[in-house]
Amino acid sequence: MTFSAELFRAEFGFFQQHPEWIYLDNAATMHKPAAVLAAEQQFYLTQNSNVHRSAHGLSQLATAAFEQSRQTVAQFLNAGSSHQVIFQSGATAAFNQLVFGLTGTVLKPGDRVLLTVLEHHANLVPWQLHAKSAGIELDFVPLDQHNRLDLTAYQQLLQRQPKVVSFAQVSNALGHIQPMEQMVKMAKAAGALVVVDGAQGVVWQQPDLQQLDIDAYIFSGHKLYGPTGIGVLCAKKQLLEQLRPLFGGGEMIQHVSLDSVSFAALPYRLEAGTPNMAGAVGLAAAIAWLQKQDQQGLKLHKTQLLRQLYAACMQIPGLELLSEPDLNAGILLFNLKNEHPADVAEVLNQFKLAARAGTHCAMPLFQQLNVKGAVRLSLAGYTTVTEIAQSIDILTKLPEFF
Ligand SMILES: Cc1ncc(COP(=O)(O)O)c(C=O)c1O
């Protein structure tokens, strides 16, 4: 099996409908292949019913499809058991559930949690909302001079004995791939529980949770060629069992009276309300589809395109690059000297080049970088050599527009 960018791209109907767009906003959300659209449609056309609630045959079909999807996710992550997969609406919801659930149970006042300065707000604000307000101290791994995590400082911060270490596998703003395996090992040696934000990383490198010994792993379907509105909190059983449910409601209950409640077994106790059934089916279809692709070829394709983009951008006068091409999952972060990133992105938009400008839900990172914001170009498997050449052309002309 060899990777063909053309065949890969042909599976995305969006580009047939809209050949005019150069879509380089994949870190925000990705387009979906036909297999994902078909799986969701198939669910609604042939199985639509509520899961776990009714005795009738349709509900059994829907339940089977939903639980099969859970199984697919568990296998994909090598989690051990499908009951360790909690479906959430996305990574943000998963973080809120995890952090709320840990606070007061695993984490007590005076305990420490170690994050990094480059985290997406989803791996920062829930810690501020739930943990910090309950007296839990937050520490942050700083950056080194290459805008990568400073591992010496990380080692020193681990000496403060954090109960939990939580970091992104890949930075959503810089694209830099963290040395996940090494960071997990270091955190484990310090006795911490490890949470990995796989929102950007899962599409780059499928994790083996058991082999890596990660305690909790979180990602969103829509950044893995899957649907929006579905995400995953996958964690070790003993950790999940300790989490306080953030949401209460239907199906997460074992018994309820007017003044007391006991909760169902995992995974249901952390899935209140009707879940996103079609979303789960769509996510499983995305995973199954992705696993059929040539993973090494896919990586090489993105790496080569990114190198080409960086090499050209380094030659453009006034373009200030904030990220590096090596150990990068497919993101270029830049500014045009003296210009506002939003204005730059608007010029790109006029060329139908979809980019994102701003602080990319990682405001503290931009405070560290000492810039107000930046423009982000993020690639996917369906990005073509031609699109990169066209983008370079547009970027080269950028200074003329200001
Ligand atoms: C690294 C990272 N973590 C978490 C999130 C939150 O994901 P979602 O918005 O799908 O909940 C994102 C989204 O951009 C992200 O890039």
Ligand 1 centre distance from Cα of residue 90 (Å) = 8
CA distance 359 to 120: 10
Q: What is the domain-level CATH number for residue 360? A: 3.90.1150.10
Q: What is the domain-level CATH number for residue 105? A: 3.40.640.10
Which pLDDT score is estimated for 52? 80
Q: List all residues 6 or more positions away from 268 whose beta carbon is below 8 Å from its beta carbon.
A: 52, 251, 252
Region 255-261: what's the mean pLDDT?
Answer: 96
Domain boundary among 251, 273, 291: 291
Is there a single domain that holds both residue 282 and residue 149?
A: yes
Specify if 32 maps to a domain.
no
Ligand 1 centre distance from Cα of residue 120 (Å) = 7
Q: How many CB atoms lie within 10 A of CB 211?
A: 9
Is there a single domain that holds both residue 243 and residue 379?
A: no
Specify if 51 maps to a domain.
yes
Region 71-89: what's the mean pLDDT?
Answer: 98
Range of 368's domain?
5-24+294-401
Is there a single domain that holds both residue 279 and residue 366?
A: no
Is there a single domain that holds both residue 206 and residue 284?
A: yes
Is there a single domain that holds both residue 114 and residue 222?
A: yes
Q: List all residues 6 or more positions away from 293 whose beta carbon is below 8 Å from its beta carbon.
A: 1, 3, 8, 381
3-class DSSP state of 199: coil
Which pLDDT score is estimated for 104? 96
Q: What is the DSSP letter of 316?
A: S
Ligand 1 centre distance from Cα of residue 198 (Å) = 9
Is there a single domain that holds both residue 62 and residue 183?
A: yes
Which pLDDT score is estimated for 128? 98
What is the three-state SS of 292-341? CCCHHHHHHHHHHHHHHHHHHHCCCCCEEECCCCCCECCEEEEEECCCCH
Which pLDDT score is estimated for 123? 98
Specify if 203 maps to a domain.
yes
CA distance 133 to 113: 13
Q: In Å, how far from its chain's centre is CA 372? A: 24
Ligand 1 site residues (CB inside 6 A) read: 90-92, 120, 122-123, 168, 172, 197, 199-200, 220, 231, 361
Atom of ligand 1 nearest to the CA of 119: 1
Specify if 129 maps to a domain.
yes
CA distance 33 to 225: 7
Domain boundary among 291, 307, 325: 291
- Which helix (H) or strand (E) segment is 106 a member of? none
Is there a single domain that holds both residue 133 and residue 265?
A: yes
Atom of ligand 1 nearest to the CA of 361: 14
Atom of ligand 1 nearest to the CA of 220: 10
Give the closest residue to 202 by CA, choosing from 165, 236, 244, 230: 230
Ligand 1 centre distance from Cα of residue 199 (Å) = 5
Binned at pLDDT 50, 70 and 90, residue 2 comes out as confident
Contact assessment for residue 246 and residue 101, using Cβ atoms and an 8 Å cutoff: yes
Is there a single domain that holds both residue 75 and residue 98?
A: yes
Atom of ligand 1 nearest to the CA of 168: 1
Answer whether residue 53 shows pLDDT above 80: no
Q: What residues pair up with 196 in beta bridges, in sequence order?
A: 167, 217
- Name the residue with the closest Cα to ligand 1, atom 9: 92
Which pLDDT score is estimated for 180? 98
Binned at pLDDT 50, 70 and 90, residue 55 comes out as confident
3-class DSSP state of 285: helix
pLDDT in tens, 309-355: 999 999 999 999 999 999 999 999 999 999 999 999 999 999 999 99
Q: Which residue among 361, 369, 374, 395 is the active-site one?
A: 361
Which pLDDT score is estimated for 1? 62
Region 103-123: what's the mean pLDDT?
Answer: 98
Specify if 31 maps to a domain.
no
Specify if 187 maps to a domain.
yes
Is there a single domain that holds both residue 11 and residue 93?
A: no
Does 361 participate in catalysis according to the annotation?
Answer: yes
Domain boundary among 291, 326, 343: 291
Specify if 30 maps to a domain.
no
Is there a single domain that holds both residue 196 and residue 343?
A: no
CA distance 160 to 156: 8
Answer whether residue 11 shows pLDDT above 70: yes
Instruction: Please give the structure tokens belonging to residue 49.
Output: 């019913």
Domains held by the chain: number: 2
Ligand 1: residue of 127, 356, 361 to mutate (most ligand atoms within 8 A of CB) is 361
- Name the residue with the closest Cα to ligand 1, atom 15: 199
Give the closest residue to 306 by CA, choosing from 281, 286, 334, 287: 334
Atom of ligand 1 nearest to the CA of 91: 11
Specify if 29 maps to a domain.
no
pLDDT in tens, 160-203: 999 999 999 999 999 999 999 999 999 999 999 999 999 999 99
CA distance 265 to 254: 8
Ligand 1: residue of 88, 116, 120, 202 to mutate (most ligand atoms within 8 A of CB) is 120
CA distance 62 to 46: 9
pLDDT in tens, 279-316: 999 999 999 999 999 999 999 999 999 999 999 999 99
Ligand 1 centre distance from Cα of residue 218 (Å) = 9
Answer whether residue 54 shows pLDDT above 80: no
Is there a single domain that holds both residue 287 and residue 298?
A: no
Is there a single domain that holds both residue 52 and residue 191?
A: yes
Helices (H), ranges, 169-247? 180-189, 209-212, 237-242
